Copies of this chain bind each other. A is one copy, B any other.
Amino acid sequence: MTEGKLRRRKRGELELIAMIRERALRQGRGKSTILRLGIGDDCAVLRPLPGEDLVVTTDLSLERVHFRRDWHPPESAGHRCLARGLSDVAAMGARPQAAFLSLAVPRELSGRWVERFLDGFMLLAERHGVPLAGGDTAESPSLAEKPGSGLVTADILLLGSVPSGKALLRSGARAGDILYVTGELGGAAAELRRIRDLHHERPSAKIKVGKGPHPHFYPDPRLAVGRELVRRGMATAAIDLSDGLSTDLGHLCEESRLSALVRLQALPIAPQATLEEALHGGEDYELLFTAPPAAAVPATLGGVQVRAIGSMKRRNSRRPIEMLTEDGRRIPLERHGWEHFRSSGKG
């Protein structure tokens, strides 16, 4: 009995490995200039180019925390998993060179779900030329002896390259620098709100994702913007907006030991979004960066709109971030984090 279970289990894992390996082989090295050996040995092998630094990031994507199987098409879960890592690479101004995926799925989950997860993952990987170079697989255990309660867990690792010493850090901003943001804010949170409302009205509703932009389901990491900033050498600091403007600007201020003033009327709020969503909604995956006042920052970078939304000030620990309203008042911007599905799903 145990033996039988064990064999089935191993077979499931072997199938998963074979599925991922086949996709990786079909894709090849993409545009990677440094990947020498991908899936199939104890480690992948990379040969860095002289004059380049490497950047490395990992991001967890947990079912019921970062996505829900009843809300997100598998393609969206796969896309979002990779997008989280790519956005960190974009924030450093780097070029993605290799992705590694650690994936645990419950035994009960159909191979079709995993195939579709990989479809979403690989489509985004191919768009940015980043090869799937390795990873790990396992079968997620069921929770508390309840069959079918296992959850999907994915961890994405991204490795990118950037000219030596040119990576964009959170810590490089100076007092007087102008604060810029790409694209629009709050779009992902607004789309998530619509999904939640729909689910609230009709809990069994099947979520349909049509054509057109989907900032929540299919965010577009700003890799071209990050690389342009490095090429032009104009940014002093950068961070990606994964946790929301109020939180991520807070990180940038802390690491640069500065305060910030944001002009409320300058914020590029997404069409369907509220001001709250633009300020605190996470997962927009836009870039927030600073540049000296003399820098000629263009209105678009890499095809994406860029807006000046404020400026960096000397550190004032009592008022780390302030907003300037249209009528000239200054109000503090409090941090509010990103909402997780699990909590919000109960609301």
Contacts and interface: CB of A to CB of B under 8 A. Distances in A.
Contacts of A133: 56
Contact of A136 (B54, B59, B150, B238): B59
A134 B155 CA distance: 13
A146 interface: yes
Contacts of A100: 56, 58, 157
Interface in A29-81: 36-37, 40-48, 50, 52-60, 62-66
A136 B60 CA distance: 6
A342 interface: yes
Nearest to A10: B337
Q: Which of A2, A47, A63, A143 has the largest count of B CB atoms less than 10 A from its CB? A: A143
A260 B46 CA distance: 30
A57 to B, nearest CB: 4
Contact of A56 (B44, B88, B139, B342): B44
A35 to B, nearest CB: 10
15 contacts: A41-B92, A42-B91, A43-B55, A43-B88, A48-B48, A56-B100, A60-B138, A60-B155, A141-B151, A141-B342, A142-B143, A143-B149, A143-B151, A149-B149, A155-B155
Interface stretch (A119-127, A167-175, A180-188, A212-220): A167-175
Contacts of A146: 143-144, 146, 149
Nearest to A171: B41
A263 to B, nearest CB: 25
Q: How many copies does the complex hold?
A: 2
B135 A58 contact: yes
Interface residues of A, number: 80
B58 A141 contact: no
Interface in A79-106: 88-89, 91-92, 94, 98, 100, 102, 104
A151 B46 CA distance: 34
A43 B57 contact: yes
Contact of A134 (B45, B58, B344): B58
Contacts of A149: 143-144, 146, 149
A27 interface: no
A259 interface: no
B169 A37 contact: yes
A170 B340 contact: no
Interface string A145-170: 01001110101011110001001011
